[in-house]
Amino acid sequence: MTEENINPRLGIVVSGSVDKGTEVRLDSSASVEDMVVGRYVTIEGRQRRFFGMITDISLGVTDSELTVAPPREVDSFLSEVLSGTATYATLHVLPMLTMGIEGSEPVKTVPSHFSTVNLASDTDMELIFGEEDETRFNVGNPLDMETKLCLDLPEFVKRSNGIFGKSGTGKTFLTRILLIGMLQKSKAVNLIFDMHNEYGWEGSTEEGQRKVKALKQLFPDQVAVFTLDEENSRRRGVSTDFVVRIGYDEIEPEDIVLLRQTLNLTEPAVEAVYQLHRRFRGEWIERTLALQDSDEIPEGLNIHESTLKNLQRGLQTIRRLPFIQPHVPTNAVRTMLEYLDRGMNIVLEFGRYRDITAYMLVANMLARRIYAQYQERMERAMGEGLAQPNPLVITIEEAHKFLNREVASQAIFGTIAREMRKYNVSLLVIDQRPSGIDEEVMSQMGTKITCLLDNERDIDSVLAGVAGKNELKSVLSRLAPKRQALIFGHAVPMPVAFQPLEYGSAESYKRFMPAGDTGQRAQKDIEELWN
């Protein structure tokens, strides 16, 4: 085969097993240095066509004496003769899919001996990852290939998903791209707990101060920005739709329980919260904080003085948050639900209140109530045959704080992750320490996208339970530190390392725009913004 051939032949299968993958002897015409771990190949078996990934490349000799007395000159006649014959290269290929007439399916066998192995062409890749259409959204290109990697987004949002990677590897950019995709191609609405104010309005790039646009600027008709910090939003020039305030009376014991670690509460203090709530009802926070010493603790409540002090210190922390007020006129949860029902996506900005206490309190409170509403509506919809509420995707950052082993069973996000789509609510988890997330939650995630990780435990927890884990490990640890990611799970037929689309230039925004009138209008808006 000539080099111009689109499907250059690489070699033949010489051994293998379903478990460990196949060994491919490289033809002497193919250069071993052109082979890259993570590249895709097709294997032409007798009856089936296999699709696999190169996971290792090694050099071999037929006679060990060659390593003792190698040819003296590198470019000599001797080395020319020996290369590809007495000295050869083998590729370790992990077959992942078999391609039949009815589409692709996971591999259950190995190709027969001497099956030809070719480099996968763009057409092959398209066959597997599909073309962009009404439900498929292009998120990037497989590494070293021109083909588009398309995700079936309605399928993607049916389960909880995770985006992982060390800080600075492009998680936020990847998330923006996925959110845009969901906005365009799935019926789901998003609720984004935006800890660092990056998704609603402008964010900035990692290197410099170049501003990049975010959801509301691109899709003003579909996105509402809610804020906890009106002043901060105004200063940043964000047009907000609603200012979220939380009343003392809205805080329930369950909301405090989750904050046990962050508020440094003791076990008895958590017990006391329930007792106090039972006694004081909606006024429990104010009345608890008003208690001067243990003498004032109402009769019948078994609370020690040190416990009370511990609890009060914790509640003071919450009271100091400016968006927590004794009484609020508008219920934030109700407003959010109204927006979500209209199909609007909500980005909740935290402004200056970036500490984890505020984030956990608010995210948990709101999500818990919204989830309860969804649960009720879904049950009613099933019972009475009404329309189901729009599928909801809740995006949370720093997920290991909500979903670690201690709180995952109590936090609402643990429940959402486990119960999945039963109630039309799923999660998009963004995190840099996946090893901190409860294993049970991790195992329930449909699709995982991971940028570079270099902690052994993080890698293990992300790849837990995936076929060919060790092989993927070598691919994952060789990703570039930026703009490269590995995706695997429910939404893709096989794991694939890819380069996410470029995001941040005027050109990139155009690509994300939907076609049609709204698209043109939005594009005009963008050009104005850009100029």
Partner 1 sequence: MTESTERVGEVIEASTTQFVAECYELYQPPPLGSLVQVGDAGEELLGVVYYATTASLEPGRRPIARGKDEASEEAVYQASPQLEKLLRSEFSALVVGHAEGGKLLQYLPARPARIHSFVYRCPPESVRDFSTSFDFLSLLLSTALPVSVEELVAATLRQMSEAHEDSRVFLVGAGKELATLLSGEYGRLRAILERIVPPK
Q: Which residues bind partner 1 (CB under 8 A)?
A: 28, 62-63, 65-66, 69, 76-78, 80-82, 84-86
Which residue bears the tokens 């809205």? 250
* Nearer residue to partner 1 within complex by CB, 78 or 328: 78
How far, in Å, are 87, 210, 275, 380 from residue 375 at the CA level? 65, 42, 27, 9
Distance of closest approach, residue 67 Cβ to partner 1, in angstroms: 10
* Nearer residue to partner 1 within complex by CB, 82 or 285: 82
* Nearer residue to partner 1 within complex by CB, 81 or 372: 81
- The span from the CA of 415 to the CA of 400, in Å, is 14
* Nearer residue to partner 1 within complex by CB, 17 or 85: 85
Distance of closest approach, residue 148 Cβ to partner 1, in angstroms: 41
> Residue 280 burial (CB < 10 Å; 0-12/13-18/19+)?
middle
User: By the 8 A CB rule, do 144 and 160 touch?
Assistant: no
At residue 386, the 3 state secondary structure works out as coil
* Nearer residue to partner 1 within complex by CB, 31 or 109: 31
Q: Which residues contact 328 (CB under 8 A, 6 or more apart)?
A: 245, 246, 247, 250
Distance of closest approach, residue 458 Cβ to partner 1, in angstroms: 45
Q: Which two tokens stand for residue 310?
A: 């511990």
* Nearer residue to partner 1 within complex by CB, 11 or 140: 11
At residue 141, the 3 state secondary structure works out as strand
Q: Which residues contact 267 (CB under 8 A, 6 or more apart)?
A: none
Distance of closest approach, residue 3 Cβ to partner 1, in angstroms: 18
* Nearer residue to partner 1 within complex by CB, 3 or 134: 3
Distance of closest approach, residue 65 Cβ to partner 1, in angstroms: 4
Distance of closest approach, residue 76 Cβ to partner 1, in angstroms: 8
* Nearer residue to partner 1 within complex by CB, 28 or 135: 28
Distance of closest approach, residue 131 Cβ to partner 1, in angstroms: 43
Q: Which two tokens stand for residue 56?
A: 């290792």
Distance of closest approach, residue 92 Cβ to partner 1, in angstroms: 21
- Sheet of 447-450, strands arranged across: 149-152, 136-142, 496-500, 485-489, 447-450, 161-164, 425-431, 392-396, 189-194, 345-349, 223-227, 242-243
Q: Which of 444, 459, 447 is nearest to 166 (CA)?
A: 459
User: By the 8 A CB rule, do 426 and 491 touch?
Assistant: no
> Residue 154 burial (CB < 10 Å; 0-12/13-18/19+)?
middle
Residue 264 CA neighbour count, 13 Å, CB half: 7
